[in-house]
A and B are shown apart, each in its own frame.
Chain A
Amino acid sequence: MQAAALSSAAGTDTPAPGLSYAWPRMFPGIKLALLAACALTVPLAAGAHAHLLRSTPAAASVLAVAPAQLQLDFSETAVLTSLSLERSGDPVRQKLTPRPGAPQARLVIELPPLVAGSYLVRWRALSADGHISSGSFGFTLQAK
């Protein structure tokens, strides 16, 4: 082996060649590790990073009637993990997060009765790839 040749040529202060003795002994360990990893690599889920495609009310829309629901359409199935609604001027951000459910591409959330004002919706979702995506959009509810 090359490593053995190298070390024997290099001088007297090397007790044992490194590569040539170590690697064969490593093989059982590596095989075990690879097997364990293969067992764990069963496909976990299909899908990818979830982006928000559209929402109802739509981003930057101006509404005359208070919406009863909020609908979010994602590019992939995702679990909504956080949703909040903030009316500009109000100090408190309203949390709307439902208990995390099964991954869905379309999420419909009931809204509380809304008064006129401009609102900011913030969301966070967990995708199948393990990533957390987040975003925000606003809409305005006109006074009657």
Chain B
Amino acid sequence: MSPDALYVTVRAACFLSLFQACGTSFFLAAWGAGLPRSAGHIARLGRRAAAVGAMLVLAQQLLEAARMAGDYAGLFDGGLQWLALASSGGAAHGLQAFGLLLVMSGLPLPTPLGTALARRRCALALAGSVLAILAFTLTGHTSVAPGRPVLAPLLAVHLGIVAFWFGALAPLYLVLAHESQAAANQALRRFSAIAVFLVPVLPLAGLALAWGLVPGFAVLRQPYGELLLAKLVGFALLMVLAAFNRWRLVPALARSGHGGVALRRTLVAEIALLAMVFAVTAVLTGYYAPDH
């Protein structure tokens, strides 16, 4: 496996764990108090995701030097490691690792949630999540584009919604597995009440970013453009699943108490689809640039 291929693999896995950690923090901050039986499980998931994410951020940073050299000997090249650390990617990885450490130290939540200590811990995890997401704006194409004052906030919004959405799927699964019918219904209803407004912003912000970064439609015939289209197709499929959830399974569960298993299955399918979109994004942002 070439350093480039390994880097992109690690990057995709890093997206998964980082967005899981951040989204879990958002989920607990918003709805943790109404989930007496699952909050502990959800917090453990977030903590583990943050720990894995921090390790993958570190691995990505170390691999930068191997990519610079074109072979793994670069890992042991002090000059290249220093160059990688001093680059904008090094700053982003540093802030991401710091944010994930905050999430790790915030998420051993004392249950029941509602005590002052639990609130402080939750705030710490939330602050770490915000930092880890904002770190993405320190590097990459938005960081050097002329439209940075607009593009960087757009990227942060885009990624924040990704974290909120993706990061809520596994917690919702745990809610369905552990909570009472009433608590599960309530959590699902509250999540979809917010998701229905936020998720449509995701492709809008994404398209605005593409508009700011991509020189023209000719790019659609390059790998960069093809990967962008693949992301859109993945998103469209996800919307079909999400709509099925919202208008079929969630109401059925609320009405009759049936369909919990089907709902859990579609949650797993959504997670798998989003993981594929993350893999495409890792290739897109790790390898390619739009050619002029």
- CB-CB under 8 A from B87, the residues of chain A are 126, 130
Write 13 A-B pairs (CB below 8 A) sorted by A numbering.
A6-B190, A11-B182, A13-B180, A15-B112, A18-B32, A21-B114, A22-B33, A33-B131, A40-B95, A45-B88, A126-B83, A130-B140, A134-B70
Contact B144 A37 (CB under 8 A): no
Does B64 contact A132, Cβ atoms closer than 8 Å?
yes
Contacting pair B190 A44 (CB below 8 A): no
* Interface residue SS majority, chain B: helix
Tell me the complex Cα distance, A31–B225, Å: 37
Instruction: Give CA–CA (A30, B26) in the complex, Å.
Output: 12
Is there contact, CB below 8 Å, between A22 and B139?
no
B79 touching A100, Cβ below 8 Å? yes
Q: Is A128's beta carbon under 8 Å from chain B?
A: yes
Shortest Cβ distance from B189 into A: residue: A6
Which of A46-54, A60-68, A110-118 touches B?
A46-54
8 Å CB contact of B69 from A10, A34, A124: A124
Bound-state Cα–Cα, A124 to B208, Å: 30
Nearest Cβ on chain A to B92's Cβ, whole angstroms: 7
The count of residues in chain A whose C-beta lies closer than 8 Å to any C-beta of chain B is 53
Residues of chain B at the chain A interface (Cβ within 8 Å):
4, 29-34, 36, 64, 67-70, 74, 79-80, 83-84, 87-92, 95, 112-114, 119-120, 122-124, 126-128, 130-131, 134-135, 137-141, 143-145, 148, 152, 180, 182-183, 185-186, 189-190, 289, 291-292
Scan residues 1-59 of chain A and give those whose CB is less than 8 A from a CB of chain B: 3, 6-7, 10-11, 13-19, 21-23, 25-26, 28-30, 32-34, 36-37, 40-41, 43-49, 51
B140 CB contacts on chain A under 8 angstroms = 129-131
Q: Is the CB of B134 within 8 A of A37?
A: yes
B89 close to A22 (CB less than 8 A): no
Given the known interface contacts A22-B119, A37-B131, the answer about A13 and B31 at a Cβ–Cβ threshold of 8 Å is no
Chain A neighbourhood of B79, CB < 8 A: 99-100
Q: Check A51–B291 contact: CB distance below 8 A.
A: yes
Q: How far is the CB of A12 from chain B (nearest CB, A)?
A: 9
Given that A29-B127, A82-B69 are known contacts, is A22 also in contact with B145, CB under 8 Å in the complex? no
A41 near B92 with CB under 8 A, answer no
Q: Note all chain B residues with C-beta closer than 8 A to A84.
A: 70
Q: Which residues of A contact B182 (CB under 8 A)?
A: 10-11, 13
- Beyond A26-B126, A129-B139, list 4 extra A-B contacts (CB 8 Å): A13-B183, A18-B34, A45-B144, A131-B89
Closest CB in chain B relative to A78 CB, distance in Å: 11
B112 contacts which chain A residues (CB < 8 A)?
15
Q: Which 5 A-B pairs have the closest CB atoms?
A: A130-B89, A81-B68, A29-B123, A29-B127, A49-B289
**Chain A nearest CB: distance from B23 CB in Å?**
15
The smallest beta-carbon distance between A34 and chain B, in angstroms, is: 7
Neighbouring B residues of A19 by C-beta, 8 Å: 30-31, 190
A43 to B95, CA, bound (A): 16
In the complex, are the beta carbons of A14 and B183 less than 8 A apart?
A: yes
What's the least CB distance linking A69 to chain B, in Å?
A: 22
Question: Within the complex, which residue of A13, A18, A37 is in contact with B130, where a contact is CB–CB below 8 Å?
Answer: A37
**Complexed CA–CA distance, A126 and B130 (Å):** 28
Taking the complex as formed, is A133 at the interface, i.e. its CB lies under 8 A from any CB of chain B? Answer: yes
In the bound complex, what is the Cα–Cα distance between A15 and B40 (angstroms)? 16
Considering only residues 98-112 of chain A, those with a C-beta below 8 Å from chain B are: 99-100
Question: When chains A and B are docked, how far (Å) is the Cα of A84 from the Cα of B182?
Answer: 65
B68 and A124 contacting across the interface, CB-CB below 8 Å: yes
A126 to nearest B CB, angstroms? 6
| Chain A residue contacts of B120, Cβ below 8 A | 25
Q: Which residues of B contact A18 (CB under 8 A)?
A: 30-34, 190
